[in-house]
Amino acid sequence: MVRSIILRGFDKMSAEMIDEHMVRKGVKFIREALPTSIVKQEDGRLLVTYTGAGGVVGTEVFDTVLSAIGRYADVEGLNLPAAGVVVGKDGKLTCVNEQTNVPNIFAIGDVISKAPELTPVAIKAGRLLAARLFAGSTALMDYKMVPTTVFTPLEYGCVGLSEEEAIEKYGEDRVESFLSGFMPLEWKLTDHRASDTAYAKLVCDKEADLRVVGLHFVGPNAGEVVQGYAVAMKMGATYRHFQDTVGIHPTAAEKLVQMESEKGC
């Protein structure tokens, strides 16, 4: 059951590929819907009532329901306003380098507004903050170049900006994207993957020597692939740096260093 679109905030083209793949493999999406109640029936099955597009109410019975309810910043019980800490309308804290508006009060993790809600992000930010407070360090947390992976049946890994975010930030004329659809060798050996396609994309800033500001990979072992490329991107890698790198054959990851034409395939 999808409220609006899957993988909101991620690269649109990459998300659409995952959507199409899951539908092709037999996943049924109930779109533009939200559950309103889940009631156990006499036979143990679950009757789900939901509102759909235009307020239409629907029902369906399922053997099992997994409810992904999300999460929110649980700061209300801390009585932060009494300490002078400003809590935003989203229930989170606006921080600069983990520091709230009160100089001696800091925050890390999911309670920070506009920070990625990822456990490794909170761990890294906490370690860097502790080093600055107690060990004389000046190293700051980078919330922009954070690699992450969505472990959907067709894995999706990314780091940096989506194409839509890059266009919003720099303007369409300044963004150049290189992409390629391909069939990984390991998929060619089995008939059940014959209809699947992997996909790689580099989003580049034309005014910074085609610096790669976004990398997106949809395919096998996406997390392993993106983790390595994330280091290069934090170091300011450009499209030419990717092109000058020798690929490891035969791997899916080599496709990212072989894309020769803009929006090619």
Give residue-wise pLDDT tens across range 219-239.
999 999 999 999 999 999 999
Instruction: Among 87, 105, 134, identify where a domain stops.
Output: 134
d(CA 115, CA 175): 24
Query: How many distinct structural domains can be found in the chain?
Result: 3
Rounded to two decimals, the pTM is: 0.88
Task: Specify if 262 maps to a domain.
Answer: no
Instruction: Among 86, 103, 134, identify where a domain stops.
Output: 134
Task: Specify if 5 maps to a domain.
Answer: no
Give residue-wise pLDDT tens across range 63-73.
999 988 778 88
> Could you say which of 21, 192, 216, 249 is catalytic?
249
Same domain, 106 and 44: no
Domain membership of residue 152 as a residue range: 148-257
Same domain, 116 and 196: no
Does residue 249 carry a catalytic annotation? Answer: yes
Whole-angstrom CA distances from 43 to 40, 61, 62, 125, 186 are 8, 11, 11, 49, 44
d(CA 110, CA 89): 15
Task: Specify if 55 maps to a domain.
Answer: yes
- pLDDT for res 264: 42
CATH number for the domain spanning 188: value is 3.30.390.30
